[in-house]
């Protein structure tokens, strides 16, 4: 689609228009099209949960899980209600850890699932619903079950209506891996006392400043997307390593890997997404980054207000890795807080969709996930 | 070095002999050459720490950190003393989390560092020593400081002697990433009430059964090393993804990435080590594994006593990914416990050294780490 690999503002504008117009492009302008009443409703539900529950078990997997966990792990906010996670694996060991932590304390559950039929959250929902009913009785337990699901269809939707669960709807035009700033992420984040207004403000800042059509050629976002495309197509780099100098960004990295891996990894194409946390991983993956195969490039998120030693370590790392022959892309944000995380979510979602479009890949489907699910249904 | 890429028992035997004879090959026969008195001493130190401390802050990075954390995260053992980790990054945010968790409770510290001069643990040691001295006084704090360091040299060694810290020595013929079953890993694990005898028994089982010179052609370990070599050299796979179906294996994966990345990633060579935890990551990296670029292969650790649903998920995954055109290697162990983890440590250390030898790479040095350290010293 592109031959000289330099940033082409006209091409970027056309592809961004395609993304915004896509039937799954609802996240693109979300920071400007918010339903104010829905945000109010989310905050009311959050206060209700906080007033009744020491724990909220968030049941979901993939895009219904990684985004809100990324923010909570990154910021460690203080809240009367601690968020626990379930339904993201089939491990009974993990399930029992959550049950042990709850003990005899008060808790509620939040099931986040478009269809309600994905096996991991469905099994966990069963387990925790039984636990609620045993503790609070069948009727009262209904006031401790919350769901975020499809607006009109599905098993979970029907059950929520029938039992008057507190519920939120997942917009039809937003896919799982692009949904962190929708109802999917905002309710657990509000319960955890994350400032969701600031998160949305950060996303809006990215939407408005990075995609100013008068200046797309200088946009850090557009440049990042074109750089990735050039590195992949021209320089033969098939692994991207996302790095930051804050260990609490571990789950943000996981969110990022789903976003890019699931958006680009199809038609036997796509950059393999990997991640590190420095300086920890300079003492493990540092040797490979310095002198391993040169089919990798590195993307570093810098928090400008990091400590002097940490910023010096970042400078030394960028210097050393460039000397070692790998290209390092840098994305700078002011601080590890809600504003910057909101910015980064919107930034990477948009850049990912743009990158995929440049490669000629549909950023919004996931046809490969079906093979495993089909075989799993056969075996169970 | 090898041309038809099939398992060559004679070549394996020769390379294993080179590994065992290497001046850094001390880990190879460690399960059979243990100093029984040292194990006793480790257990005594552990009991002393348990009787005086609600927390033990383990200060170390890279090979002085990842191995013991891998076991503790995997098994969640119950102990009167909880292990906390510091000195593995330069993040003040992380340091403060540890300080907050300790609060006013009794604690001790264990510094694990060959030289004592690595910047991350050195800074953390300073911080926690001051905290100890403030709480217990200069003299009494000495009985709460433990070190695992070089037998004869270094700043940490000298300080330990001068102040009568409880101390253990790191064997000279074992490098950081091969040291988990030495004093480096065993003291924190004993404090955490991990059964270190079983851990060593598992390693011994691997050492004795997998490297039986009469049957190297059928050894799962030798086959794994040759398979990796073939996939890399013949099939153009430059990314290996380690997978298991237990989320608590997350830090084992981190240990494994250091082992392989730092051993192989030099001379612009080496397979890029990546990892996933399933089924969680089937909902994030699953799409890429199924239909992304085919320059990857997958290595799955199976725990045979996993739940039925989890084993079915594993079967479905192996089936789907092979159908998608990637090679899946399987390593089966009985159970997620000390025996199997000890086995896996010895298994991967030996297979890694053998793989690197097949590629013509020295598995025991890390020349690339110096560039970053040099620049860091300049900047600070």
B46-73 pLDDT tens trace: 999 999 999 999 999 999 999 999 999 9
Q: Give whole-number Cα distances, B127 to A246, B140, B162, B167, in Å.
A: 19, 17, 20, 20
A245: nearest Cα among A164, A341, A317, A320: A317
**Is the Cβ–Cβ distance between B88 and B65 less than 8 Å?**
yes
Query: For A290, which of B62, B282, B369 is closest by C-beta distance?
Result: B369
Residue numbers of B annotated as active site: 262, 283, 373
Handedness of CA B49, B52, B54, B57 (dihedral sign): negative
pLDDT band at A86 (very low <50, low <70, confident <90, very high): very high
Per-residue model confidence (pLDDT) at position B214: 86
Tell me what the mean pLDDT of segment A141-161 comes to: 94
CB proximity A246 to B under 8 Å: yes
Per-residue model confidence (pLDDT) at position B213: 81
- Whether the model clears a pTM of 0.95, i.e. scores above it, the answer is yes
- Residues A262-311 have pLDDT tens digits of 999 999 999 999 999 999 999 999 999 999 999 999 999 999 998 899 99
Q: What is the location of CATH 3.40.50.10490 in chain B?
A: 9-22+199-367, 30-194
Q: Looking at the predicted structure, is the pLDDT value of residue B344 above 90?
A: yes
Handedness of CA B147, B152, B155, B160 (dihedral sign): positive
- Residues B2-40 have pLDDT tens digits of 467 899 999 999 999 999 999 999 999 999 998 999 999
Shortest distance, CA A214 to any CA of chain B (angstroms): 35
Per-residue model confidence (pLDDT) at position B3: 62
Distance CA A136, CA A106 (A): 9
Q: A359-368, B206-215, B227-236, B257-266 — which is least confidently predicted? A: B206-215
Burial readout B55-91 (b: 16 or more C-beta within 10 A, e: otherwise)? bbbbbbbbbbbbbbbbbbbbbeeebebbbbbbbbbbb
A&B contacts, CB < 8 Å: 275
Beta carbons of B284 and A375 less than 8 Å apart: no
Tell me the average pLDDT of chain B.
95
> Position of tokens 């400043």?
A209
- Residues A89-101 have pLDDT tens digits of 999 999 999 999 9
- Residues B72-120 have pLDDT tens digits of 999 999 999 999 999 999 999 999 999 999 999 999 999 999 888 899 9
Residue B380, number of CB atoms within 10 A of its CB: 11
- B residues 126-155 near A, CB within 8 Å? none
Shortest distance, CA A217 to any CA of chain B (angstroms): 29
Distance CA A107, CA A144 (A): 7
- Residues B269-313 have pLDDT tens digits of 999 999 999 999 999 999 999 999 999 999 999 999 988 999 999
ipTM for this model: 0.96
Distance CA A181, CA A345 (A): 8
Looking at chain B, list the stretches that DSSP marks H as alpha helix, in order from N- to C-terminal side. 9-21, 36-52, 66-75, 92-102, 119-136, 138-141, 155-163, 183-191, 196-210, 220-233, 250-264, 286-291, 308-323, 338-359, 369-379
Shortest CA distance from A60: residue in chain B: B280
Helix (H, G, I), strand (E, B) or coil at A337: coil
Residues of chain B found within 8 Å of residue A376, distances taken between Cβ atoms: 312-313, 316
pLDDT band at A380 (very low <50, low <70, confident <90, very high): confident
pLDDT band at A32 (very low <50, low <70, confident <90, very high): very high
Tell me what the mean pLDDT of segment B316-330 comes to: 96
Per-residue model confidence (pLDDT) at position A369: 86
Tell me what the mean pLDDT of segment B131-151 comes to: 96
Distance CA A70, CA A252 (A): 4
Q: Looking at the predicted structure, is the pLDDT value of residue A370 above 90?
A: no
Q: Does domain A30-194 fall into CATH 3.40.50.10490?
A: yes
Distance CA A95, CA B301 (A): 20
Tell me the average pLDDT of chain A.
95
Largest Cα–Cα separation, chain A: 66
Per-residue model confidence (pLDDT) at position A3: 62
**Angle between the N-to-C axes of helices A36-52 and A183-191, in degrees from 0 to 180, rounded to the nearest 10:** 40
Q: A2-6, A58-62, A142-146 — which is least confidently predicted? A: A2-6
Beta bridge pairs of residue B110: B58, B146
**Residues 6+ positions from A133 with CB-CB distance below 8 Å:** A141
For chain B, what is the radius of gyration of the CA atoms? 21
Both structure tokens of B106 = 């009794």
> What torsion, rounded to 10 degrees, do the Cα atoms A286, B266, B288, A250 define?
-10
Percent of chain B with pLDDT over 70: 99
Q: Which fold has domain A9-22+199-367?
A: Rossmann fold (3.40.50)
Tell me what the mean pLDDT of segment B348-361 comes to: 97
């Amino acid at each position: 689609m592109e031959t000289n690999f330099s940033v082409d503002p006209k091409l970027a504008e056309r592809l961004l228009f395609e993304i915004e117009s896509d039937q799954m492009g609802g996240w693109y302008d979300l920071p400007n099209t918010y339903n104010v009443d829905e945000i109010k409703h989310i905050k009311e539900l959050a206060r209700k949960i906080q007033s009744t529950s020491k724990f909220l078990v968030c049941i979901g997997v993939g895009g219904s899980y990684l985004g809100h966990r990324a923010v909570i792990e990154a910021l460690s906010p203080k809240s009367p209600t601690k968020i626990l996670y379930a339904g993201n694996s089939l491990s009974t060991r993990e399930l029992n850890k959550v049950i042990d932590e709850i003990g005899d304390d008060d808790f509620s559950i939040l099931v986040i699932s478009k269809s309600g039929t994905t096996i991991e959250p469905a099994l966990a929902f069963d387990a925790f619903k039984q636990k609620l009913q045993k503790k609070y009785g069948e009727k009262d337990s209904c006031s401790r079950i919350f769901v975020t699901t499809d607006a009109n269809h599905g098993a979970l939707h029907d059950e929520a209506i029938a039992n008057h669960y507190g519920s939120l709807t997942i917009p039809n035009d937003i896919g799982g891996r692009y949904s962190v700033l929708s109802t999917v992420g905002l309710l657990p984040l509000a319960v955890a006392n994350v400032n969701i207004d600031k998160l949305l403000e950060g996303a809006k800042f990215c939407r408005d400043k990075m995609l100013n059509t008068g200046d797309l050629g200088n946009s850090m976002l557009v440049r990042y997307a074109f750089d990735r495309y050039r590195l992949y197509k021209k320089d033969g780099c098939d692994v991207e390593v996302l790095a930051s100098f804050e260990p609490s960004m571990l789950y943000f990295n996981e969110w990022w890997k789903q976003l890019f891996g699931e958006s680009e990894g199809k038609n036997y194409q796509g950059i393999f997404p990997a991640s590190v946390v420095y300086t920890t991983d300079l003492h493990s993956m540092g040797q490979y980054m310095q002198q391993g195969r040169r089919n990798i490039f590195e993307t570093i998120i810098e928090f400008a207000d990091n400590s002097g030693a940490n910023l010096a370590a970042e400078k030394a790392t960028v210097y050393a890795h460039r000397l070692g022959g790998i290209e390092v892309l840098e994305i700078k944000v002011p601080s590890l807080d809600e504003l910057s995380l909101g910015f980064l979510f919107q930034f990477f979602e948009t850049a990912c969709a743009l990158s995929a479009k440049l490669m000629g890949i549909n950023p919004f489907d996931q046809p490969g996930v079906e093979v495993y699910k089909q075989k799993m249904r056969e075996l169970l």
